[in-house]
Amino acid sequence: MKKIYFLIAISGTALLSGCIFGGGKGGADRGEVMGAPAKNVKAEVPYGMAYIPSGSFLMGQTDQDITFAQIAQTKQVTIPAFFMDQTEISNSQYRQFVNWVRDSIAITSYLNDPKYYLGATGKKPATPNPTGKKYINWQYVKRYPIWGAGNKKAGAANATKLQGMFYQGDDRVFDRNELDVRLLKYNYAMPLLREAANYKNDKTKKRSDFILRDTVPIYPDTLVWLSDFSYAANEPMVEGYFSHPSFKDYPVVGVTWRQARAFTVWRTRYNESYKDSRRLPHRSPYVLPTEQEFEYAARGGRIGTDYPWGGPYIKNAKGCLLANFKPGRGNYSDDGGTYTVKVKSYFPNDFGLYNMAGNVAEWTQSAFDPSASTFVNDLAPTFNYEAKKNDPEVMKRKVVRGGSWKDVGYFLQNSSRNYEYQDSAKSYIGFRCVTHFQGRDLRDKR
């Protein structure tokens, strides 16, 4: 009889433990470490991007280094998997950024209309959140555009309030309402992880010491079409290249390195706001590629080749030029484009990337150092430097890759390096973004 009582006592204890510690069907861990609960998320390829699998390659110049520049000594390196834009960022894509900044400034600084904020209703204004801030309801803005397109009633009501966003007085031409692009500035903050790692044991440092805060005028410099070329009648490009719809699928130019980085921050936050609305985890931030990632992606998985299509020639078997560049002295048009061409021109390389050579050269996030290849790591190599405002100009050089429509064929080589200063804008430099894969390599089936 005692044995029976003992068994009953054990059963009761187990039942009680199940009640206390969450036992039973539905996910009790029975006191075992089974991991924090998390959603199963399917791997996704971001829109407009190509998956670049991890791999190792010989970084640097090949036998075709005809100038013996010796600025990119060969080195075997390994690059982790990432996603990269299939094309250069187009005028249309960059204009979405410009319009977002324009509308943000219009709503917060000029309209002051409560119905454009989250939480507002027809009769009730938005209530600030615990931080005291209000957030724009972008779904409402899409349904009821503040500038009147598709919403004439709102356009007429807002017109007077928005007059301050146009050029005033003697700056006006034919009394037209033209947006004062000097007002378009983007404020953002981002962590400086490398600096945080370098000073992690310094007790005098605060978290705020490793947060970069910047304000960037974001409208492209359209005058680059004149300032880059002496005695060239490029006025039509100034007047229409960024603003005219016929150029919407052409690569954006006239953007500085800082503007390109600001775009990557905005693109990250834009995607995160959608993810938050669906309670989905964020993807890795959008950034500019390192110069090593750019070279690896340009090679398309090929070994020891000169150009993204392989090579060693810039023409195919039919005699057609394979990129948009300057084929000969005074000859810009034999490749099919006098200036830039559409971002999906010519054939993509084996990774599905367009115009990794030619069309426009592209900003990378890497700082320029002639001997960088000798001291960077052989795993995910990079050399970055966050230039301060008062630093000498030599510290503000950023690597530019790919060659452009106005360059000769040498600059189209996968290994060719060049640089430009981070605050300069050119008619032949654009950019594209990458985002790094979080999790296993998509080729890993385990």
Residues 172 and 310 in one domain: no
Residue 439 is predicted with a pLDDT of 56
In a domain, 368, yes or no: yes
DSSP assignment, residue 427?
A: T
In a domain, 352, yes or no: yes
Residue 6 is predicted with a pLDDT of 44
In a domain, 132, yes or no: yes
What's 419's domain CATH number? 3.90.1580.10
Determine the residue type at 354. Y
Residues 247 and 375 in one domain: yes
Residues 71 and 155 in one domain: no
Residues 113 and 85 in one domain: no
Tell which of 123, 151, 181 closes a domain. Answer: 181
**What residue numbers bound the domain in which 324 lies?**
40-90+222-256+289-446
CA 422 to CA 399: how far, in whole Å? Answer: 9
Number of folded domains that form the chain: 2
Query: Taking the chain (446 residues) in consecutive chunks of 10 residues, what is each chunk's mean pLDDT?
Result: 46 47 59 85 87 93 59 84 97 98 96 84 60 85 80 72 94 93 97 94 95 97 97 97 97 98 98 92 95 97 92 87 93 94 97 98 96 92 93 96 95 93 98 83 56
Residue 153 is predicted with a pLDDT of 63
Residues 79 and 151 in one domain: no
For 150, left (φ over 0), alpha (ψ -120 to 50), or beta?
left
**Integer angstrom CA distances of residue 309 from 84, 306, 354:** 17, 8, 10
CA angle 345, 346, 350 (to 5 degrees): 115
Q: Indicate the pTM of the whole model.
A: 0.90
Residues 295 and 378 in one domain: yes
Residues 304 and 397 in one domain: yes
In a domain, 336, yes or no: yes
Residues 86 and 125 in one domain: no
Residue 14 is predicted with a pLDDT of 46
Residues 387 and 444 in one domain: yes
In a domain, 206, yes or no: no
In a domain, 201, yes or no: no
Residues 172 and 229 in one domain: no
What sections of 199-278 are H helices per DSSP?
224-227, 235-240, 257-277
Tell which of 157, 181, 205 closes a domain. Answer: 181
Residues 153 and 70 in one domain: no
Residues 244 and 309 in one domain: yes
Tell which of 181, 201, 231 closes a domain. Answer: 181
Residue by residue, DSSP assigns 345-388 as -S---TTS-S-SSSSSEEEEEEEP-TTHHHHS-SBS--------
Rg (CA), the chain: 27
In a domain, 410, yes or no: yes
In a domain, 356, yes or no: yes
Residue by residue, DSSP assigns 111-147 as I--GGGBTT--SSSPPPP-TTS---B-HHHHHHS-TT
**Within a 10 A sphere around the Cβ of 175, how many other Cβ atoms?**
5
